[in-house]
């Protein structure tokens, strides 16, 4: 069934984008409006499970969005930028993604202070601007990590451009208190002591990137905290300690991209080490290659991950009385949504740059759970689903 009523916000976005395009023409050099929009339709060929909100009906709203950016040049080396994103998905958050002041003391140095997207992976800070990358949905095995998507703080950038090589170094520090949406769940999160460093090397058509990020996350989950306290009152300290709603997350990332007029190759590997019940230790990567037949490009990708969660401890005795049995059962239940898994996906897609600022894309992704049942699909009918499905998507990507 086509969800007509959910198509309305998507078409409104397009009309609004048109209006913004005309507004842009009226602005002067100091004040600039710009923006991006993506309208994505998706269909999952599976009636017993859902992925990224997609099921076996065509939906336009899971990833459709509109972003508006305003840049104001206060002085020669000082500017202010704000970016707001409106999303159409029921279970996602809209709002201010970027709001920062940029100070550029020299050609080599740049400092940004304010709310910013965390540059964890190559596309983490550009995830909403589909026009900037070939895929419709970025490889989820690398890009679905939900910790630390934005922060408020200071970022410094340094660039060295040599005869044959260019080097970039970015470092940032900050924190944020904000609600995030992960897997359809709203999480009230307090992030502090977040910091990271990103190094890049450009050589001919190659671009290499390596980065390290670290932050402390405190995810407010009152029910889990109350249960943990209850375990503590009963004297089950190890069990209480094993339910961790706060802890440190560390991200390690390396990537190598190559592109020229004829073809492109991209690979990115990451590892997440987090000691929170909700966030697994993850290793993930993707490898992607494509050919350019300007204005069309085609690509293939493979991506894989493994996720290892904190394990429950066997501390609460069972079979003694009903109260302890209930406690043991409740304890096991808290871990039921975090089971180890491994997933794999294959993607084939095509992008057609119809206009210089407008691209059309089509993509098919075979999603496969290699191990475990909680890797990819959010809801499922366990008895009738083999953990494998194909997601079909078409998209219009626009920048203005």
Q: How many residues bind another protein (CB under 8 A)?
A: 49
Position 262 contacts another protein (CB under 8 A): yes
Binding characters for another protein, 196-235, by CB under 8 A (x = yes): ------x-xx------------------------------
Q: How far is the C-alpha of 367 from the C-alpha of 123, rounded, in Å? A: 21
Q: Is 257 in the site for another protein (CB under 8 A)?
A: no
Q: What DSSP letter does each residue of 7-40 carry, written as one string?
A: HHHHHHHHHHHHHHHHHHHH--SSEEEEEEEEEE
Per-residue contact flags (x/-) with another protein for residues 56 to 95, judged by CB under 8 A = -----------x-x-----------x-x------------
Tell me the CA distances in angstroms from 153 to 74, 118, 176, 214, one per residue in order.
20, 10, 8, 14
Give the nearest distance from C-beta 132 to another protein in angstroms. Answer: 4
Q: Verify binding: residue 19, another protein, rule CB under 8 A.
A: no
Question: CB neighbours (10 Å) of residue 294?
Answer: 8
Gap between the Cα atoms of 193 and 133, Å rounded: 31
Q: Closer CB to another protein, residue 2 or residue 74?
A: 74
Residues 118-157 as x/- pattern, contact with another protein by CB under 8 A: -x-----xx-xx-xxx-----------------------x
Q: Which of 22, 28, 107, 233 binds another protein (CB under 8 A)?
A: 107
**Contact between 301 and another protein (CB under 8 A)?**
no
Return the number of the residue (166 or 220) whose C-beta is nearest another protein: 166
From CA 363, how far away is CA 347, in angstroms rounded? Answer: 7
Chosen residue from 93, 159, 340, 371 binding another protein by CB under 8 A: 159
Q: Are 328 and 318 in contact (CB under 8 A)?
A: yes
Task: Report d(CA 134, CA 111) in Å as an integer.
Answer: 29
What beta strand segments (E) does the chain contain?
Answer: 31-44, 65-75, 78-87, 95-103, 109-117, 150-161, 165-182, 185-203, 206-220, 246-259, 263-274, 281-293, 296-308, 341-355, 358-371, 388-399
- Under the binding rule (CB under 8 A), the answer on residue 111 touching another protein is no
Crossing angle of the two packed helices 322-334 and 222-233, in degrees rounded to 10: 140
Q: Would the CA dihedral through 250, 256, 259, 262 be positive or negative?
A: negative
* Binding to another protein, residues 162-201 (CB under 8 A): 163-166
Contact residues for another protein, defined by CB under 8 A: 34, 36, 67, 69, 81, 83, 98, 100, 102, 107-108, 110, 112, 116-117, 119, 125-126, 128-129, 131-133, 157, 159, 161, 163-166, 202, 204-205, 259-262, 264, 292-295, 297, 351, 353, 356-357, 359, 399
């Amino acid at each position: 069934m086509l969800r007509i009523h959910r198509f309305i916000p998507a078409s409104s976005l397009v009309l609004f984008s048109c209006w913004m395009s005309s507004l842009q023409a009226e602005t002067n050099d100091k004040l600039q409006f710009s923006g991006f929009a993506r309208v994505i339709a998706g269909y999952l060929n599976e009636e017993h499970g859902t992925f990224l909100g997609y099921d076996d009906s065509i939906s336009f709203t899971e990833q459709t969005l509109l972003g508006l950016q305003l840049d104001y040049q206060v002085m020669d080396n000082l500017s202010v930028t704000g970016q707001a994103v409106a999303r159409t998905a029921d279970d996602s958050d809209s709002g201010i993604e970027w709001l920062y002041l940029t100070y550029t003391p020299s050609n080599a140095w740049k400092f940004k202070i304010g709310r910013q997207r965390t540059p964890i992976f190559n596309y983490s800070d550009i995830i909403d601007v589909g026009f900037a990358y070939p895929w419709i949905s970025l490889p989820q095995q690398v890009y679905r990590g939900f910790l630390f998507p934005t922060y408020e703080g200071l970022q410094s950038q340094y660039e060295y451009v040599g005869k044959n090589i260019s080097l970039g170094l970015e470092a940032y520090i900050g924190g944020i208190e904000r609600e995030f949406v992960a897997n359809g769940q709203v999480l009230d999160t307090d992030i502090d002591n977040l910091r990271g460093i990103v190094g890049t090397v450009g050589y001919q058509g190659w671009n290499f990137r390596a980065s390290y990020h670290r932050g402390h996350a405190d995810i407010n989950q009152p029910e889990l905290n109350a249960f943990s306290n209850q375990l503590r009152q009963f004297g089950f300290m190890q069990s209480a300690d094993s339910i961790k709603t706060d802890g440190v997350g560390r991200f390690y990332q390396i990537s190598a991209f190559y592109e020229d007029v004829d073809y492109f190759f991209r690979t990115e590997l990451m590892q997440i080490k987090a000691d929170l019940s909700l966030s697994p230790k993850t290793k993930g990567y993707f490898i992607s290659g494509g050919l350019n037949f300007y204005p069309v490009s085609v690509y293939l990708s493979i991506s894989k991950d493994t996720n290892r969660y904190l394990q429950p401890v066997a501390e609460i005795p069972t079979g003694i009385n009903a109260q302890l049995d209930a406690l043991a059962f409740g304890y096991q239940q808290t871990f039921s949504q975090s089971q180890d898994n491994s997933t794999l996906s294959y993607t084939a897609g095509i992008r057609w740059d119809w206009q210089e600022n407008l691209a059309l894309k089509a993509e098919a992704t075979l999603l496969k759970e290699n191990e475990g049942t909680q890797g990819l699909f959010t809801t499922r009918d366990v008895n009738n689903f083999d953990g494998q499905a194909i997601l079909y998507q078409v998209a219009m990507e626009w920048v203005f």
